[in-house]
């Protein structure tokens, strides 16, 4: 049994760090694009103001794979993909947590993030008047 677990995790690692990343770019960047598309579509289709982020995309892809895996036929690919999406979601959440701590952000307000990022950029360029 442990071999199956290891095989699934090994295959998931290959998927998220190997050829797929070379073919499609980083999962995080790809999930950001998907998040924008899904946010726009759901907001329009449901007449709601919805913002989906990259972590949401990874988690919802896990739900898609759970739905597929819940049928009667075992397909290892579903479990490999779930593990890969979970790893990506974990990395996205960890990176966001680190950024939040660096910027000392206590809310999800995009204006706060934009303002703080602008201040960081201004601070970084103030001493560089070499142009």
Judge whether residue 130 has pLDDT over 50.
no
Helix and strand element counts for the chain (H, E): 6, 0
> How would you classify residue 17: left for phi > 0, otherwise alpha for psi between -120 and 50, otherwise beta?
alpha
Q: Tell me the C-alpha distance between 70 and 49, whole Å.
A: 31
What pLDDT sits at residue 23? 86
Average pLDDT value for residue range 19-47: 91
- Tell me the per-residue pLDDT of 57-108, one tens digit each, with 9 for 90 and over: 999 999 999 999 999 899 999 999 999 999 999 999 999 888 877 777 555 5
Judge whether residue 53 has pLDDT over 70.
yes
CB count, 10 Å around CB of 7?
13
């Amino acid at each position: 049994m442990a071999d199956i677990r290891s095989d699934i995790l090994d295959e998931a690692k290959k998927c998220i760090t190997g050829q797929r990343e070379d073919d499609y770019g980083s999962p995080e960047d790809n999930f950001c694009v998907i998040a924008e598309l899904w946010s726009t579509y759901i907001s329009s289709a449901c007449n709601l103001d919805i913002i989906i982020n990259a972590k949401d995309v990874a988690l919802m892809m896990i739900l898609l794979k759970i739905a597929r895996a819940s049928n009667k036929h075992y397909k290892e690919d579903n479990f490999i993909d779930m593990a890969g999406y979970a790893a990506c979601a974990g990395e996205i959440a960890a990176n966001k947590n680190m950024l939040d701590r660096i910027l000392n952000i206590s809310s999800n307000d995009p204006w706060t993030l934009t303002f703080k990022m602008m201040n960081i950029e201004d601070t970084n360029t103030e001493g560089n008047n070499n142009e």
